[in-house]
Amino acid sequence: MTIDLREDPITLTAALVDIPSVSLDEAAIADVVERALREQTSGFEVLRHGNVVLARTDRGLPTRVILAGHLDTVPIADNVPSRFDKDDAGAQVLYGCGTVDMKSGDAVFLHLAATVADPVCDLTLIFYDGEEIAAEYNGLGRVEQELPEWLEGDLAVLGEPSGGWIEAGCQGTVRVRLSTAGTRAHSARAWLGDNAIHRLAPILGRLSEYRARQVDIDGCVYREGLSAVRVSGGVAGNVVPDAAEVDVNFRFAPDRTVAQAIEHVREVFAGLDLSFEVTDSAPGALPGLTAPAAADLITSVTSHGGGGVRAKYGWTDVSRFAARGIPAVNFGPGDPNLAHKRDEHVPTAQITAVTAMLRNYLTGQI
């Protein structure tokens, strides 16, 4: 299969959706993207690294902008191939797995690589695999470890769905397992035991009473959240359990480090009789909107009809760039609330608008 990068990015989005690329099965779409970049763009060095496709120019321009997007999707749910339809207002929408997360963003980047003849900055494009699953499979993570020079730049733009808004930075995340211990007994003689599930009550009480911070950073308000996300316990229907546990997820503003976030969670549950185990963590990303390249993007987008700037809720790969001191934002078509849904769809007008706003930025029409 081939794709035409000079076609309307709406058509290009549909073509990408029609290439199934569930996580760990991205070879076919990586082949198509690599071939298109080699054959249909000029001035780019193109490199294949596993199922990651990288391309960059080296024109000696004063700044370098990285455009990065993942090629994989969640499992298909009877939503490939793509199809066009109308929404309730009569506007055209494109349905299909990955239309929002994030083949429309990939299509915008690919189209611009082939059609922007005189950018004011050097460009690096990274199309990577394994974003939708465990971090060990993330292609951008492998690039970070094995080809770190490809991540150097003045601004990174990830094509994550943001509805045409610039969503800056991202929250960090910590997951903690809180476990309680008791004494097993027959439930008919419960007084002989110590119910570990009942010992979860103080934990749940503190969670229900918790009041999360709202933090303004560079004009972006990040809302923290501390939530129980899993509860486990019980042996049998006639047994007082001697063990129980609750998994707690803390989504924290990027002004905290991971260590500070873990310490905060410890403080919330201080004094309770429990064991505390950190099971997962990832740092947040500061918005970095005062950096010149980021400020120029904001000016260009907001002056050409974009939705403005807001905080990114949730974690994205912008964190990898922020950890290297590179400002990074999420900017792409599609409503993130529709990502991964069976009826995932994107307004085609949004694809057109994001393409135009990024074209203006890359060509200096600020």
DSSP letters, 95-132, are ESTTIIIIIHHHHHHHHHHHH-SS-SSEEEEEEES--S
In this structure, are 236 and 137 located in the same domain?
A: no
C-alpha span between 335 and 346 (Å, rounded) = 7
* Positions marked active-site: 72, 131
Co-location of 159 and 257 in the same domain: no
Beta bridge partners of 174: 250, 281
Taking residues 166-174, what's their average pLDDT? 93
> Residue 307: its pLDDT value, please?
78
pLDDT for the residue numbered 105 = 98
- Residue with the two structure tokens 């309730």: 88
Given a cut of 80, is residue 366 above it in pLDDT? Answer: no
Torsion of CA 154, 290, 330, 171, to 10 degrees: 120
Tokens representing 309? 């700037």
* DSSP state for residue 57 in the 8-state scheme: -
Q: How confident is the model at residue 143 (pLDDT cuts 50, 70, 90)?
A: very high
CA distances from 248 to 88, 113, 180, 276, 307 (A): 39, 43, 14, 10, 33
Q: Is residue 1 part of a domain?
A: no
User: Once rounded to an integer, what is the mean pLDDT over residues 305-333?
Assistant: 90
Token pair 């690589």 in the structure block, residue: 113
- Give 347's contacts (C-beta < 8 A, 6+ positions apart): 87, 91, 92, 93, 333
Query: Average pLDDT of the chain?
Result: 95
Tell me what the mean pLDDT of segment 176-199 comes to: 98
80-111 pLDDT per residue, tens: 999 999 999 999 999 999 999 999 999 999 99
Same-domain pairing of 136 and 244:
no
**What is the span of the domain harbouring residue 124?**
9-170+285-362
Same domain, 108 and 190: no
Choice among 55-64, 247-256, 308-317 with the minimum mean pLDDT: 308-317
User: How high is the pLDDT of residue 191?
Assistant: 97
Number of domains in the chain: 2
Asked if residue 246 belongs to a domain, the reply is yes
Q: Is residue 228 located within the same domain as residue 345? A: no
Residue 335 domain-assigned (yes or no): yes
Query: What's the pTM?
Result: 0.87
Q: Are residues 83 and 227 in the same domain?
A: no
* Same structural domain, 128 and 221: no
Q: How does pLDDT run across 265-291, given as a tens digit for each residue? A: 999 999 999 999 999 998 999 988 888
How far from 293 is each of 64, 97, 120, 126, 312, CA to CA, in Å?
Answer: 9, 32, 11, 19, 19
131 within some domain: yes
Domain containing residue 178: CATH number:
3.30.70.360
Gap between the Cα atoms of 174 and 259, Å rounded:
10
> Of the candidates 233, 265, 282, which is a domain's last residue?
282
Q: Is residue 154 part of a domain?
A: yes
**So what's the pLDDT on residue 304?**
78
pLDDT of the residue at 273? 96
Let me know whether 299 and 183 are in one domain: no
Of 248, 244, 236, give the one whose Cα is nearest residue 273. 244
Does residue 4 lie in a domain region?
A: no
8 Å CB contact between 129 and 51: yes
Last residue of a domain, one of 224, 255, 282: 282
> What is the per-residue pLDDT across 4-34, written as a single tens digit (0 to 9) for each?
999 999 999 999 999 999 999 999 999 999 9
Q: Are residues 243 and 298 in the same domain?
A: no
Nearest to residue 77, comparing CAs of 59, 60, 98, 61?
98
Q: Tell me, what's the pLDDT at 36?
A: 98
Residue 270: exposed, middle, or buried by beta-carbon count in 10 A (0-12, 13-18, 19+)?
exposed
Structure tokens belonging to residue 4: 């035409």
Element (H, E) at 329: strand 328-330
Give yes or no for residue 218 having a pLDDT over 90.
Answer: no
Averaged pLDDT for residues 205-218:
96
**Structure-token match 């929250």, residue found:** 171
CATH number, domain containing residue 355:
3.40.630.10
Average the pLDDT over 298-318 and give the result.
Answer: 87
Res. 329 pLDDT band, cuts 50 70 90: very high
Q: What pLDDT is stored for residue 72 in this prediction?
A: 98
Q: What's residue 50's pLDDT?
A: 98
Question: Do 289 and 162 share a domain, yes or no?
Answer: yes
Last residue in a domain, options 265, 282, 299:
282
**pLDDT exceeds cutoff 90 at 150:** yes
The residues near 123 (Cβ < 8 Å, ≥ 6 apart) are: 44, 55, 56, 57, 64, 65, 66, 67, 113, 362
Question: What is the structure's pLDDT at 4?
Answer: 98
